[in-house]
Structure 1
């Protein structure tokens, strides 16, 4: 499929909240939403899609997905945690996200973890993942094209095969993440 480069460019992988993009002052909820909306605007599938809402943030707070805010203001650490939640919630249940971030939250709240350094490490891994993904997408597109070469209506079949292959790959990664979450739960129970 010749469109793989267009797909990769349209996915706006460069859209990330970098630590230097986060103001040095604490933000109110509307300012947090505005930061996320402006940063991830290019990543939206549909124009009316909401990246983050007050309800979402309030639900994360009530669910203790991040440690409590002070005076209705969100610190730089809160914004980094909300960014992690935003990324994880597309593949994991909110309960699993809470389990994953529980130890990080405790350490960050007690100032036993440099959350900015941890977050930068995550962003570095994410950049590497983007490069791996771009290569894998090209290989999967080539594989789908090979499977239907010479078949009538091959363009439609190729597209469906590629979609099915991508969904399968996504499920493999999600299931691997869930296995790691289960290990966290098992470790906590022991």
Structure 2
């Protein structure tokens, strides 16, 4: 299979959509189950855990999200956990906290609806950018196939190229975080 076809066939992005969230509050085990179901296609192997109790507890201890109410998590909690999950692959918890604090969604009295508004905007942006990035990745794969004859070397070079780009994006995000008030 060509590199372009491989990239095209990859499941690269999943989200917990607002419509998936029940109108009632969830216990931690239910939150974890929701994430496991929503992100199962992104797992590299069956044993991988998407979300754990320890992760959620660490987010609460680090003041990345408000404490649960009577051991139950609201829709806003789940949205916040989802955004944290997205950022934690590239950023430190300290940087994530700064981003969320600046957005005004981690305060004891957050702006009414601020987490939901931020989350919806994020999902719209993410969907749009996913398609742009996928198209660019397919183009890069096709370019690599033209430049290099050996399929193994093609794949290794494409992996290195993707990692390099990921590092550039992460560094740019860190620089932007450093410039936040």
Structure 1 and Structure 2 fold alike (TM over 0.5): yes
Structure 1 residue 94, shift from structure 2 partner? 1.2
Q: Give the aligned partner of residue 34 of structure 1.
A: 33
Q: How far apart are the structure 2 equivalents of 1:71 and 1:181?
A: 33
Q: Are the structure 2 counterparts of residues 108 and 142 from structure 1 closer, same or farther at C-alpha, using a change threshold of 3 Å?
A: farther
Q: Residues 120-156 of structure 1: CA distance to partner in whole angstroms, max 9, x if unpaired?
A: 110010011111111110121122222214xxxx111
Q: Give the aligned partner of residue 161 of structure 2.
A: 165
Q: How far apart are the structure 1 equivalents of 2:12 and 2:136?
A: 17
Q: How far apart are the structure 1 equivalents of 2:109 and 2:179?
A: 24
Q: Give the aligned partner of residue 138 of structure 1.
A: 138
Higher relative contact order structure (alpha carbons within 8 Å, sequence separation ≥ 6)? 2
Structure 1 residue 183, shift from structure 2 partner? 0.7
Q: Give the aligned partner of residue 102 of structure 1.
A: 101
CA contact (8 A) 2:4 2:142 kept: no
Q: Once superposed, what is the RMSD of the aligned Cα atoms?
A: 1.7
For residue 172 of structure 2, the aligned residue among 158, 170, 176 is 176
Q: How far apart are the structure 2 equivalents of 1:7 and 1:48?
A: 24
Q: Give the aligned partner of residue 119 of structure 2.
A: 119
Larger radius of gyration: 1
Residue ranges of structure 1 left out of the alignment (5+ in a row): none
Q: Give the aligned partner of residue 58 of structure 1.
A: 57
Q: Residues 20-69 of structure 1: CA distance to partner in whole angstroms, max 9, x if unpaired?
A: 10111111100000000011111101110000000010011001111222
Q: What is the aligned length?
A: 180
Q: Give the aligned partner of residue 90 of structure 1.
A: 89
Q: How far apart are the structure 2 equivalents of 1:172 and 1:182?
A: 15
CA contact (8 A) 1:37 1:50 kept: yes
Residue ranges of structure 2 left out of the alignment (5+ in a row): none
